Amino acid sequence: EVQLVESGGGLVQPGGSLRLSCAGSGFIFSRYWMTWVRQAPGKGLEWVASIKKDGSEIYYMDSVKGRFTISRDNAKSSLFLQMNSLRVEDTAVYYCARTDIDKISDNWGQGTLVTVSS
């Protein structure tokens, strides 16, 4: 069974940093792209970033470029999102998703809540 478990969320002040992690199991992690998607409270889904299986291709939404860094450790079946210079508008549940070669995200974690507030 595919499992994705996010961690690292919490309350942080504007301008602060957080590092999210996503542990994958039940599949060969190194064979898949991985994606972060977020959802602000009561709002819709917003794609944040995606990384190719070997890390050779990375894409970000415009509003997080230069502030967020997606990375992965295939040996540990783990995905990361380093978030710096956090803003109030980054407040959301952050989901990691397994993404196939065609960019279909077919399995999602339960999410981790990031709250940016003073």
Partner 1 sequence: DIVMTQSPDSLAVSLGERATINCKSSQSVLYSSNNKNYLAWYQQKPGQPPKLLIYWASTRESGVPDRFSGSGSGTDFTLTITSLQAEDVAVYYCHQYYSFPITFGQGTRLEIK
Residue placing its CB nearer to partner 1 in the complex, 74 or 107:
107
Q: Whose structure tokens read 């064979």? A: 31
Nearest distance from C-beta of residue 19 to partner 1, angstroms: 21
Among residues 21, 61, 67, 113, which is the contact residue for partner 1, using CB under 8 A?
A: 61
Is the CA virtual torsion 53, 54, 57, 60 positive or negative? positive
- For position 89 contacting partner 1 by CB under 8 A, the verdict is no
Q: Output the 3-class SS for 1-66.
A: CCEEEEECCEEECCCCCEEEEEEEECCCHHHCEEEEEEECCCCCEEEEEEECCCCCCEEECHHHCC
Q: Which is nearer to partner 1, 13 or 89 (CB)?
A: 89
Does 88 participate in binding partner 1 (rule CB under 8 A)?
no
Q: Which residues here bind partner 1, judged by CB under 8 A?
A: 35, 37, 44-47, 50, 59, 61-62, 95, 102-111
